Chain A
Amino acid sequence: MNKLTFSIGGVHPNDNKRARECAIEVLPLPKTVYVSMAQHLGAPAKPIVAVGDFIKTGQVIAEPGGFISAFVHSPATGTVKSIAPRKDLAGNNVMHIEITVSEEEIWADGIDLSDTLVTEIPEDKAATLDKIKACGVVGLGGATFPTHVKLNPAPGSKAECLILNGAECEPYLTSDYRIMLERTKEIVVGAAIMQKVLGGCRCVIGIEENKPEAIEAMSKAVSELGYKDIKVQVLKKRYPQGGEKQLIDAVMKRQVKSGALPISVGAVVQNVATALAVYEAVQKNKPLITNTLTITGDCMPDNRQHNYLFRIGVPLSFIVDYAGGIPEQAAKMISGGPMMGRAIANLDAATVKGSSSVLFLSEGATRRKAESSCIRCGRCADACPMGLEPFLLHRLYKAGDVAELEKASAQDCIECGCCLYSCPANIPLLDRIRQAKGMALGAIKARAAAAKAAAEAAKAAAEAKK
């Protein structure tokens, strides 16, 4: 089959998928779980339970705090111990609901816990969307954008292609790979459900070539289930293949304009794990309280690599202890992949819906080397998948030239890390471009606000004249 890839930039890190052979294991529950109210993009959820309340597994404990927000459900049966700010993995205070877990698990009513595959796709789109929303499904590819919002494009825009993202281009991570092998048919049904909600557009499941077993399993499931217009597409192994904009470029040969949403070119991109969550929500009425996570790293012994099915709210430290503790040579702990993940500053932080890994990297693999002079080799510009010139953005940032930064499209940076990854002078390009992006976006927003204010003032003046 013809392998597709994005057209600009990219890098080829060693994929190091050491946990690929580790089947998913169910992680037990600790005595206490901490459920974050900010585990999706958008407004934090508002708790609707009180301290002392007895709650069942899968029961709603918080409701959306805005249009772009999501329901949160209890990952365990037990008593609400406290509702208070607690530090997340970066050390920021976020409201958490602390639940003391009971011995006996009682599930909330109406949740189908059997593993019978339900392949019939419900016809009623509005009801399906409601179910997805009520089950708190968010994008599990990294951005945790509420799925029901993404599956309900603004009037006037039409989805032409649903792209299911099974690229998993980040090195080390294997959770998407494992669910594609072990929950294959459920994922395909989930894709068919989303396809239906989007009005019957075609669906392409993109998987990188380094996962031939997943490609084979998914292709087989697609042909066995026989839904219309779903196909598996092999992608080249190249980072960031799974970036939303890059995937659209690879699969549809279209590019999303700066500041526009994927739907503007007719694309909706959803992760394979999200498809699984959609399946469970719609067919099983099961809220999103579990996800799969890889515990791995270059300094993690082979026999301690795992893929866990975890409940949200479980502290990272519990998972690490369960897997045998922090490996001795670990110098950095990361939540997510080595290219875009976040360093863990607080191991007591609780897992959230979007947690995808706990990664341990050794000093040699991760310690940044001393910065030296730029030799203008242009490797950063060759690597940038957005076609930006990181060396230029870096220089403009140092000069504080916001107008030029905007012209050089600092606002389009996707923070994939390719520039810093490939810089022979170890210049912290992305660290500074992230700041530059903030400056450029700030200028754009300020201008939009000023234009709006001016328009309103003109309107008011026109009305006063009348």
Chain B
Amino acid sequence: MEKYLVSPNPHIHANVSTSKLMLDVCIALMPAIIVSVLYYGWSELLILGVSVVSCVLFEWAIAKFLMKREGHFCLSAAVVTGLLLAMNLPSTISWWIVMIGALVAIGVAKMSFGGLGQNVFNPAIVGRVFLLISFPAQMTDWTVPAGFIQNVDAVSGSTLLGMFNEGGLAAVANVDYLKTLFLNIGGSAGEISALALLAGWVFLLVRKVIKPWITLSIFATVAIIATIFNLCAPELYTDAAFNLLTGGLILGACFMATDYVTSPMTTVGGIIFGVGIGFIVMMIRYFGSYPEGMSFAILIMNCCVPLLNKWFHQRKYGYGRA
């Protein structure tokens, strides 16, 4: 009899694991990554490689030598952080700056809080914001290097949001929205193709890795705020489509704000979280000195997650109906 297992129920498992979920996220990022590599060429591939390898290396080393506990190293989670960090950086950035970003993302934002599942802030965004503040010039150099596909707009050297921030509405008067869907001009790797990002998001929804509510509430809030401002003063404020399709909005809403660890547990909490991000990002874009505010919006709302988890709970059986 000893050879048979004895343990409490349940005796079967859904066969999901953290690694499998993270692998799905990696797969979902692939369309956007492929587009960015085609568009920016070898330099983008180098950034992706350096970012992923450094994130994995730092996480492994810190888990093994500093934390000295089993179970803190999760390869696929580190790869996801690495990919997201790389997608948040301009393609012209030096490899050693990427490494610093990876160290801050993994070492400071993730492992110092206790590793996987314990961090308050999204590691990749912390890494990006740290670099933005420490290396402002390099982080906003949007010169487009020669990619693998022909690109006529490669000279522009500025993001659409950057142009609006500096030159006002006139600077972005002739934007072709259709083009932003497929190939945006300027920006970090993850900002190039809205369609590629959305394809990855739909993949995650189909695989039931994430739920759509956070992303949809960000989109809805941004669209509503932009429409209201645009209707009140069309000569001052950009419209909804511009705000939805430019900058890191889609990347942030689909892949960064939906990070399990740093987003609320319940659907209601998630919707409030999304509305908060949408509101903050629009305030920064319209009234802030930075052209883009997605990173800050997500970080600020990350702080609210413990409160949202405390205030908003599941609908319990026997307390509502009847």
Contacts and interface: CB of A to CB of B under 8 A. Distances in A.
Interface in B264-322: 265-266, 313-322
B64 interface: no
Nearest to B18: A424
Interface of A: 7-8, 11, 13, 171, 245, 249, 253-258, 260, 265, 330-334, 338-347, 359, 361, 365-379, 381, 384-389, 391, 409, 412, 415-418, 420-426, 430-431, 434
Contacts of B16: 379, 422-424
Nearest to B313: A389
Given A331-B5, A391-B265, A430 B10 contact: yes
Nearest to B12: A338
Nearest to B3: A331
Interface of B: 1, 4-14, 16-18, 20-21, 71-72, 74, 77, 115-118, 260-261, 265-266, 313-322
A373 B316 contact: no
Contacts of A256: 318, 322
10 A-B pairs closest in CB distance = A417-B10, A387-B316, A254-B322, A373-B117, A378-B265, A332-B5, A377-B260, A343-B6, A255-B321, A338-B12
A198 to B, nearest CB: 20
Contacts of A361: 11-12
A417 B18 contact: no
B17 A369 contact: yes
A82 B72 CA distance: 57
Contact of B11 (A332, A385, A431): A332
Given A253-B321, A256-B318, A375-B117, A340 B265 contact: no
A391 B261 CA distance: 13
A333 to B, nearest CB: 6
Interface centre among B4, B18, B117, B315 (most CB of A within 10 A): B4
Contacts of A265: 322
Interface centre among A255, A256, A359, A367 (most CB of B within 10 A): A255
Contacts of A332: 4-7, 11
A386 B317 contact: yes
Contacts of A409: 316
B303 to A, nearest CB: 15
Contacts of A245: 317-318
A171 B12 CA distance: 10
A343 B5 contact: yes
Contact of B314 (A258, A384, A426): A384
B73 to A, nearest CB: 10
Contacts of B8: 342-343, 430-431, 434
B204 to A, nearest CB: 12
A368 B14 CA distance: 11
Contacts of B314: 8, 381, 384, 387-389
B260 A378 contact: yes
Nearest to B20: A424
A415 B318 contact: no
A255 B322 CA distance: 6
